[in-house]
Amino acid sequence: YKRVTVKSLVEMKANKEKISMLTAYDFTMASIVDGAGIDVILVGDSAANTMAGHETTLPITLDQMIYHASSVIRGINRSLVVVDLPFGSYQSDPKEALRSAIRIMKESGAHALKLEGGKEIKDSIKRILNAGIPVMGHLGLTPQSIYKFGTYTVRAKEEAEAEKLKADAKMLEKIGCFAVVLEKVPAKLAKEVAESISIPVIGIGAGNGVDGQVLVVHDMLGMTHEFNPRFLRRYLDLHTEMTNAFAAYHKDVKSGDFPNENEQY
Ligand code: KIV
Ligand code: NA
């Protein structure tokens, strides 16, 4: 294997090779995702939803993100591992942002970090970049600001918000981010942004005109089944498969069929 680096991602864009990215939050999942050849593993703060059952991503802490990230790092050989800075760990001032960033890098062994937002957090991103830590931006629907938006609907449909998003993307490129996630924005706008900057744009619900795609692993495996956005393609129906497996085990235990003669000492 050849390790994926932030440099290889920028090269992939230049060579028009699309970038694959999935989330993972634990060792076992990360080792399977890495072994399948996925370019980038995101230790997303969506762990607040998928792993902890919170309704939003706001409650997850820096310590919890470090736990998930260090578990993922132990499972990988090739993928680039990007970790979300959680809500509250970078918004108050650039020094605190850098302290949080350093903690994740030191305590988990992550390769890069992701922060939500544009010019509001420019100084924090610059501080982190100055310390030699690669940063991925995240624009469009930014779930840590859910109470400002009020809903999880498509962002930047109006001209003013679209213009701000385009300017933010250019700014992120200019200050030295290596990539940017665009979440839930019109495909036409996402394509325009991808064509306007030289760093890769990774989309989720942002159409096919971008440089790569990301999905939450529990969603694409069909483990979750009440979350049904248009952009989600399910590659398995694990919710049904797992339910059937658990029910079969339950039945076998109740009937005394499990364990059989060959399954005991
Ligand atoms: O936390 C997450 O899973 C994310 C992706 C959806 C981009 O930020
Ligand atoms: Na996230």
From ligand 1's centre to the CA of 83, what distance in Å? 10
CA distances from 262 to 57, 249, 253, 257 (A): 46, 16, 15, 12
DSSP 43: E
Q: Do 135 and 246 fall into the same domain?
A: no
Q: Looking at ligand 1, which atom is closest to the CA of residue 45?
A: 1
pTM equals 0.98
Best residue among 45, 85, 116 to mutate for probing ligand 1's pocket (most ligand atoms within 8 Å of CB) is 45
Q: Is 161 a catalytic residue?
A: no
Q: Do 185 and 254 fall into the same domain?
A: no
From ligand 2's centre to the CA of 46, what distance in Å? 5
The CATH number of the domain where 24 resides is what? Answer: 3.20.20.60
Ligand 1: residues with CB < 6 A are 23, 42, 44-46, 84, 181, 183, 204, 214, 216
Contact by Cβ (8 Å): 165, 118: yes
Q: Do 197 and 253 fall into the same domain?
A: no
Contact by Cβ (8 Å): 44, 84: yes
* Residue-level pLDDT at 239: 98
* Residue-level pLDDT at 246: 98
* Residue-level pLDDT at 225: 87
> What ipTM was estimated for this complex?
0.99
The total number of structural domains in the chain stands at 2
Q: Do 50 and 159 fall into the same domain?
A: yes
From ligand 1's centre to the CA of 137, what distance in Å? 11
Averaged over successive runs of 10 residues, the pLDDT of the chain (265 residues) comes to: 94 98 98 98 98 98 98 98 98 96 98 98 98 98 96 95 98 98 98 98 98 98 93 98 98 98 97
Catalytic residue among 11, 96, 107, 183: 183
